[in-house]
Amino acid sequence: MDVSQYLEIFIDETKEHLQNLNEQLLILESEPENENTINEIFRAAHSLKGMAGTMGYKRMQKLTHNMENVFSEIRNGKMKVKSELVDVLFRGLDALESYLENIQASADEGTEDNDSIIVDLNNILEEGLGQSMDSPKEEQKEAIEKKPESAGSEDFMKYKKIVLQEHEIHAISKAQEEENVFGITVYIQESCILKAARAFLVFKALEELGDVVVSNPSVQDIEDERFELDFSVVLLTKESMEKVKASILNVSEIKDAAIGYFESTQLKETENSIENAMNEVAATAAATAVKPSNVKETTNGQPQKKTATKPVVNRSVRVDIEKLDVLMNLVSELIIAKNGLVSIGSNEDTSKDSAAFNEQIEYLERVTTNLHESVMKVRMMPIETVVNKFPRMIRDLSKKLDKKMELYMTGEETELDRTVIDEIGDPLQHLIRNAADHGLESNEERIRLGKPEVGSIFLDAYQDGNNVVIEVRDNGGGINVERVRQKAIDKGTITSEQADSMTQKDIIDLLFLPSFSTAEQISDVSGRGVGLDVVKTNIEKLGGDIECKTVLGEGSSFVIRLPLTLAIIQALMVELGDEKYAIPLGSIQTIEDVPCSEIEYVQTKEVINLRGSVIPLIRLDEVLDVEPREEVPESLTVVIVSKGEKLAGLVVDNLIGQLEIVIKSIGKYINNNKVISGAAILGDGEVALIIDANTLV
């Protein structure tokens, strides 16, 4: 079955259902009697089961089916929610997420059956109901046996007349010598929403038992849901009628199945009706539902070749249709602007060309700016998609570390570029794990210090200008700066002389060095020294920065600043010698003209005193190895840039002006010590390098 075209939709919707289950189970753990939560979990498990079954993921379907069974009894009031059940359900969610990861990587759910989880669920269900778990199966078996005997082939043919082609008649006649030929009519429940999906599952079940020769309505009509609540097939199989019927009834939302032997006399009748029936066959559009492609459709007597396609899973963004309407309107205006420029170019009267040309250029500039903003909005996603998995993580850490803790989040609706969203999850996870392990004290220690026994971790996100700020803080013990200083000296990271001249912030920054950790013991949570340096590296790759603030005994705060988008930015174009460079406007505070006489020195480094603030000077021509000017100017043009609370002055030769630029990667082959974050192509085709002010401050 080729279901690759639905794989992306399946993955996106499965992620949503799993996240919903995570959130609802956390609520259920604290509110075991919450009926709305119980109903929501049942619905999510039921949806997951149906989706997994439709895609053919049996293990995923089996696990969610067992979870659904438990909540079905809870909904009916036959059993209560206990902590043991919640633990098993979380294990089940972890298994489902593992299946999903395998599906994303290879379109296959893997080979792990997770039978232990299913056994534990069944044991809890048996204990809750006070009866054997075999009883539902026995009841189902008894119900099947109590159904009326299979309808004869007359009923089958009478209900839905199947018109056979000559080669199909020949194939069935020949197969009757060695196999059973069954005529089957399948009835779907009236409450079923996805008829085509249920039909697909029936076809899939039948194909495991034999070959489906023909169906009525046609395969195309079934996949397009152009049929009522029943359809008929002819099946060639060596299996018994009872086994075939049981296999059909095992599919959810199937009401009944009439099955009988397809007799040769009916083939004769069908032969006589072929000519008339051919007029009833209609050509239909391409498949829009799951196609049971293993059905042996034929053309001119020859089996159609099946082509196997490898599923390709792409990253996607769900977009509000109103945003797409805005984009469409802007593209229309872009075409109008283009037509205006073409008209000017073909106009023989050149007297008014200059004014008209400038007017069209201004119009084009407005449209492209609006288009950029609209595309940015389309690419934006709420940070909620990243942080909503953290409450579950805190629950698990609380049990693993034996610490009572709560996570408080604000600003989940804050939006970030999709590219940033994809990369920011791991750094935030590192910071929260560090806060839980290193930051918060043990329960006993907090009580001894007079603090609330339950520690608090806060995750706040908000927009600040062209940046998004994310803060991860805790009310734990804070960072012992003296301990960090001594650890750095013991490891040989710094000397005692260097330590004496370092500020508290300089010492805290040592925590971001590779392999630096103050943990006395290594655990599977933290302590290996691979956390904060990874965080810093990943955030700087995104054009952001991170800083740490701490108060001993009160807690620590890690502040991350990230750009809203990574594709198009506003920049200040400057000159250094004969070369042009771009400095992102988001980093710039002010531009100053500083007389050379006001330059002072602190520890042999150039600084200026700007309105009471001492700001270090960075001569970009020296950093970038640009040929300096021959004449020494009387004053310097200084671009004041910021990184958090830090300021620095970048000395440039000339200012060109503000420009909207598209960031282009310069590849991995140019070693620029991270000073250059990319390049931009200017209007005249010249390339300007983009300076990363964060690495200079």
- Indicate which residues carry an active-site annotation: 46, 68, 434
- What is the C-alpha to C-alpha distance for residues 550 and 558, in angstroms, rounded to an integer? 9
Q: How far apart are CA 325 and CA 100, in angstroms?
A: 33
Cα separation, 440 vs 442, whole angstroms: 7
Residue 102 phi, psi dihedral angles, 5° rounding: -65, -40
Q: Under 8 Å CB-to-CB from 381, ≥6 apart: which residues?
A: 317, 415, 416, 417, 418, 421
| Residue 260 · residue 155 · CB < 8 Å | yes
Joined together, the tokens standing for residue 576 give 């250094």
Rounded distance between C-alpha atoms, residue 259 and residue 186, angstroms:
9
Residue 601: CB atoms within 10 A of its CB come to 8
Residue 206 CA: distances (Å) to CA of 106, 212, 233: 26, 7, 10
Of the CA atoms within 13 Å of residue 265, those in its CB half-sphere come to: 4
Q: How far apart are CA 667 and CA 298, in angstroms?
A: 52
- Which residue type sits at 475? N
- The C-alpha atoms of residue 239 and residue 682 are separated, in whole angstroms, by 72
Kindly provide the b/e burial profile for residues 69-95, where b requires at least 16 CB atoms within 10 angstroms of the residue's own CB.
bbbebbeeeebebeeebbebbbebbbb
Confirm if 473 and 558 have CB atoms less than 8 A apart: yes
Report whether 493 contacts 510 (CB < 8 A). yes
Counting Cα atoms < 13 Å in the Cβ hemisphere of 559 gives 12
Contact 387/416 with Cβ under 8 angstroms?
no
How far, rounded to the nearest angstrom, does the alpha carbon of residue 35 sit from its chain's CA centroid?
Answer: 29
How far apart, in Å, are the Cα atoms of 13 and each of 8, 141, 388, 679?
9, 33, 16, 38
- Which distant-in-sequence residues (6+ apart) come within 8 Å of 223 by Cβ? 196, 199, 200, 287, 288, 289, 290, 291, 292
Our CA angle for 147, 148, 151, nearest 5°, is 125
Angle at the Cα of 281 from the Cα atoms of 276 and 283, rounded to 5 degrees:
155
Decide if 446 contacts 397 (C-beta within 8 A): no
